[in-house]
Structure 1
């Protein structure tokens, strides 16, 4: 049988996971997939032992997704010695360095290790093209341009494409919009400003906004980051109401990084659904006025900041 360890919750590793599962099924494997956090050591041990009783076990595949996110690596280190037999093949998909890997060195010793951190550019761009719902507004060329400007970071490119699509609606995105709104070097700085804003650190948020303006940072970048944050919080709220509270499960469902989910979860309690709707409506109104040339973009940012911090 094959045990497929999906190590990290990232777009790159999920693409690799999808492709490997397709490969297994094409080889007539019966694939059973589980979120590692939702099962325990005993389940895996019993599954493998039961599979070893049948001659057909070479055509069975157990997929353990988000393995290193689950922090159960030490437990599974033991199972290598106790249960695996000569017919068991271990495949480990991982994306980035993770301390949990040190606790699971036997998995790497016994396994076929596939490093997903360098997903081919063509495959990454195609994944983004398939994943973005409004392809009529975001051409393959635009997606490739955004991907390159984001330094090959698929999470960042995915979020930037959503931001561009929101801004350009209902028109098609252009190279000029990409040029003015996508700057990967500024992303961390701008998102720190947004964290301060939604964390009610008013002085810090407004001081950084003025600094962005003095540095010539596009106001569209700031407004796009606000839109993204509101959208993520509301997507999380919707899933929490459905009973999904695990950060890894939320990340996989709404397709944002786990650390973003963990940072955004407190805002679900801090801001009501009504507040979220009101902020989104305010942002849409300001966006329309900017496009019509009725308001200065940075003045629109200030008005949006006031809308966030005022209860």
Structure 2
């Protein structure tokens, strides 16, 4: 590093950097170390609000948050959804939640959390409806099962950290999760004890194992599992 020619631009990318290591200190001394963290939800809300204002559209903050909850935090994806909503509203001055639901598409994480919300409400029919909406998009049952496992594991981790007194921002940073996912997880933690979540994770692992060994059909196995979760 000390002998790099002035014409060279060398960049190091790490998911997580240890600031106590010699290599980090050497890089920081010769160049610049910066954290490229994703923007928080408030920043995304303000960014979208500017766009709607430029389009001369009125929209509530909660409706903007709904767009983020459904589309995620990727700026390109949010720009696409914003353009769809504005086009759908046409000459109307105000954009409503109904407009967002009509034209935006949810990412799979959001759909899984919708399924969790339905489980909390013990709404068996809605749980299965949400599951079928995922299969309609050609998502393989075992992929859906893996995503369900990830979200329940996230729910368990969020529950544990929230019990320790951490706020949603610190939890999101610790778990490297989107802020809106942590918000929804916190809201759902009151419906599941840690023991219940661990039991659910065991059932998911059992369904996964039996499906991969050909002991049960994955589609039927997941349907039965989801039905049990709402009892």
Mapped partners of 1:309, 1:187: distance in 2: 20
8 Å Cα contact 2:172-2:178 kept in structure 1? yes
Aligned with residue 181 of structure 2, among 250, 256, 260: 260
The aligned counterpart of 2:199 is: 278
The aligned counterpart of 2:29 is: 26
Matches within 5 A, 1:1-311: 25-26=28-29, 69=40, 97-99=44-46, 187=108, 190-191=111-112, 193-200=114-121, 201-213=123-135, 216-244=138-166, 246-310=167-231
**How far did residue 234 of structure 1 move?**
0.8
**How far did residue 276 of structure 1 move?**
0.4
8 Å Cα contact 2:117-2:188 kept in structure 1? no
**How far did residue 251 of structure 1 move?**
0.5
Q: CA RMSD in A?
A: 4.3
Mapped partners of 2:199, 2:214: distance in 1: 23
Mapped partners of 1:243, 1:192: distance in 2: 23
**How far did residue 197 of structure 1 move?**
3.5
Higher share in strand = 1
8 Å Cα contact 1:239-1:250 kept in structure 2? yes
Mapped partners of 1:223, 1:205: distance in 2: 14
1:16–1:286 Cα change, 3 Å: closer
8 Å Cα contact 1:194-1:226 kept in structure 2? no
- Superposed CA deviations along residues 173-228 of structure 1, whole A, max 9, x for unmatched, are xxxxxxxxxxx986257436524433433222212333444554311122122101
**How far did residue 25 of structure 1 move?**
3.6
Structure 1: gaps (5+ residues): 1-13, 32-62, 72-95, 104-152, 154-183
1:213–1:239 Cα change, 3 Å: closer
Mapped partners of 2:44, 2:133: distance in 1: 34
**How far did residue 300 of structure 1 move?**
1.2
**How far did residue 250 of structure 1 move?**
0.4
Mapped partners of 1:216, 1:280: distance in 2: 24
Mapped partners of 2:38, 2:205: distance in 1: 40
| TM norm structure 1 | 0.42
**How far did residue 23 of structure 1 move?**
8.3
8 Å Cα contact 1:250-1:261 kept in structure 2? yes
**How far did residue 264 of structure 1 move?**
0.5
The SS at the match of 2:197 is helix
Mapped partners of 2:25, 2:49: distance in 1: 29
The SS at the match of 2:215 is coil
The SS at the match of 1:99 is helix
